[in-house]
Structure 1
Amino acid sequence: MVVSSQRIQMRRIIAAASLFAIAGASLLSMTASVEAARITNPVAVFSGIDKITGRITTFDVYIGETVQFGALQVTPRVCYSRDDTEAPKTDTFVEVDEITLDRKIRRIFTGWMFADSPGLNAVEHPVYDVWLNSCKAKSDLPPPDSAAKQ
């Protein structure tokens, strides 16, 4: 009787280990599919507000390009989004510099911005605020290389 209960105990342990192995494999495959769904985009779309005039401007910036918004220079380094089957998660790594009154350039922000949480890492400046709207594959504006050739 003792031998039989030990065998039953051993079978339960083996069955539990098998379930953990299957669950672990499923988790790994789900993680791989989430990483595969990330899309690298060539254009980041920002919005900025001029607090003096109250005007909000939306502007496209190609990755690696620097665009000036008021006294700020915005340079996105990457812009990631997800495909249509995933929950929208759009983020960019961006550097923002300020041109001071004595014409010096001072870095005021380096980091990640998230379109679904614009207040989390938006650039807050005494006169200008800038935040990420979205990423996209194409822009109506020509890329920086083709603009220089014209």
Structure 2
Amino acid sequence: MRGIALVLGLGLAAPAFGQGFVDAQGGVIRWLDTLTGRTGDIELARGQSATNGRLTIQLDACRYIEDNPAAEAEAHLTILDSSREGPVFSGWMIASSPALSAMDHPRYDVWVLRCVVPGYTPPETEESPEEETGDGSAE
């Protein structure tokens, strides 16, 4: 019975996996300091990092569905906290399902908004926060 359910579940998900993904040159990440309430959006090029508070967020890759850049974005992030050894997060985050692969941190939340796609302007669906960039440094 489990085997049948697994096959049916994979069959229903197959169309999403069949769509081609395109690598983007950059992405837009949103961060939140839950202690102070400060938030901001960071646009990063692939391989670039930015520091906000104790976090350094590096965008390793961003990709989107070829036929519909508004539909989905996936970004591979490496996130460091200056008060800890090693990354506090390293992996893929999915814009439409941020809880699926979330960073587990007691103070900060980070999630992917979209990839940067030449010639594409995303619709304004939500009010953008006033940009707070911590110390504002970018590498």
Note if 1:44 corresponds to 2:27: yes
Deviation at 1:118, TM superposition (A): 1.2
Deviation at 1:86, TM superposition (A): 7.3
Deviation at 1:94, TM superposition (A): 1.1
Q: Which structure shows the higher helix fraction?
A: 1
The one-letter code matched in structure 1 to 2:74 is D
**In 2, Cα distance between equivalents of 1:71 and 1:106:** 13
The 8 Å contact of residues 72 and 114 in structure 2, kept in 1 or not, is answered as: no
SS of 2:86's equivalent in the other structure is strand
Which protein has greater RCO, CA pairs closer than 8 Å, 6+ apart? 2
Q: Deviations over 1:87-119 (max 9, x none)?
A: 71210111111101xxx6531111110000012
**In 1, Cα distance between equivalents of 2:115 and 2:70:** 14
Deviation at 1:85, TM superposition (A): 4.4
Deviation at 1:124, TM superposition (A): 3.0
Partner of 1:109: 89
Gaps of 5+ in 2: 1-13, 119-137
| Aligned structure 1 segments of 4 or more residues deviating by more than 3 angstroms | 83-87
Gaps of 5+ in 1: 1-26, 139-146
TM-score, scaled relative to structure 1: 0.61
The correspondence of residues 71-150 of structure 1 with structure 2, limited to 5 A, is 71-85=54-68, 88-100=71-83, 105-137=85-117
SS of 1:124's equivalent in the other structure is coil
The 8 Å contact of residues 64 and 73 in structure 2, kept in 1 or not, is answered as: yes
**In 1, Cα distance between equivalents of 2:46 and 2:82:** 21
Query: Are residues 39 and 128 of structure 1, via their aligned partners in 2, closer, same or farther at CA, if it must alter by over 3 Å?
Result: same
Aligned residues: 105
TM-score, scaled relative to structure 2: 0.65
Q: Deviations over 1:118-141 (max 9, x none)?
A: 122222322211111110136xxx
The 8 Å contact of residues 51 and 128 in structure 1, kept in 2 or not, is answered as: yes
Q: CA RMSD in A?
A: 2.7
The structure number with the bigger radius of gyration is 1
The one-letter code matched in structure 2 to 1:69 is N
State, as a whole percentage, how many aligned pairs show the same letter. 27
